[in-house]
Structures are given as structure tokens and as C-alpha cells.
Chain A
């Protein structure tokens, strides 16, 4: 299985400051035929199902605020929240959809400092 490792496990950031979450895969998620990275980011708030934020590593889902951005390629990826808002408190997961089983990272809990 492809192992997805997120860092840190938890993060406390002040309102208005930048939050950065990392995700590392044990195999490259870049498909050279289409030059796309098969990596998605999700946000899960308490009591709710996950919601997709970005796919293809950096394509923002429709309706997602532009303070959320994804980057990276190959095995190293980052989710950045440029200016943290109170409603961004959640657990964030990366997921690879290149190889079955389609594995998730262990999650990063984001809180307000």
C-alpha cells in the first residue's frame, strides 16, 4: 500500500496567520502521461463528513475559498491556508488516488492559538 504521512499531527495558528500542512507519499503520485499528481486534500469538521478542498494536488474545488491552496509534486505535497479564519478549525487529510487501495494520511488537527 502507498503510505501517506502528514506532518504535523496537530497545529495551532493565530487568526489571520498562515497554516501549512505537509503530506508525503511513499511512492510518486505523478502520472507522467498526463503530468498530473493524483493527490486530494479534505477538510473534516466535527460531526460532519469530509469535504474535498483540492484535487490534482493544486486544483481548488468550486466554492472553496481562495485562502486554501495546494502545491507539490511527486511525493511531497503541501496544503496552505493563507490567512486562518475561525471556521477553518478542522482536521485535514490528504488522499492519494493513483494506486488502490486509495490511502489517506493520518490527519492534521488545526486549532486556533
Chain B
């Protein structure tokens, strides 16, 4: 079974650092894009960025570039989302989600609708 399992909920103070994780299983981790998506309390989905674990090619939404760091360790099939200095406005649910690989014959193409999703990691930043 293909699944993404995220690390547990975190409660932090403003200014603290944090790194949350997303471990993939049931598939070849390095060859599928992994995205991070934020959902603030009671709000919609915001695409933060995406990483290709095979070569760590990373793309960020302009809204999140410089605010977070996305990384991956293909040896442990784990993607990460990291903050150096949290703010109260970082409070929310963070999901990782896997892109899709479509193969025909010997050719494969990556497409970034997302399935499956991790269960989410709730990050609360409060003094």
C-alpha cells in the first residue's frame, strides 16, 4: 500500500525552529515529486512547494520562498519541511502529498495532481 506518514503534532513558541517529516512507503520514493500544502485553521489549501527526491530539485511558491525550507533524504524515504524562526501566523495543518507518475512503454512523465496525502501535522505557534 502506498502511504505517506507524517510526524506528530507540534507546539512551539514564536522564534523557535521546527522540522516536520513525511515518510513514504510502498513505492519508489525517489522518483515521485512530494509537495507540501498548508491549511490554516478554517481556511483553504495553499501549495507551498515541491521536491523531487532523486536530485532534490525544489520549487517554492513565491508566498513561501525564504520562509521555509523543503528537503528530502532518499535513503530514508523521508521529506521534510523546516522553519528557522516560527511566527504565530505559521499555525496550521501541514500536509505532504505525492505527485503522480504516468508511464507508457519506456517513457514516464510526472504530473502534479496529488495522491496520496499524508495525515497532516498540526503546528501550533503560541507564546
Q: Which residues of A come within 8 Å of B, CB atoms?
A: 1, 38, 40, 42, 44, 49-52, 55, 61, 91, 93, 95, 97, 100-107
Contact = CB atoms under 8 A, between A and B. Distances in A.
Contact of A97 (B62, B63, B111, B120): B111
Interface residues of B, number: 25
B16 to A, nearest CB: 26
A102 B97 CA distance: 13
A105 B115 CA distance: 18
Contacts of A105: 44
Interface of B: 35, 37, 44-47, 49-50, 59-63, 95, 97, 100, 111-115, 117-120
A93 B47 CA distance: 12
B37, B63, B113, B119, most chain A CB atoms within 10 A? B113
A102 B49 CA distance: 8
A52 B95 CA distance: 14
Nearest to A105: B44
A104 B46 contact: yes
B41 to A, nearest CB: 13
Given A49-B95, A49-B120, A93 B113 contact: no
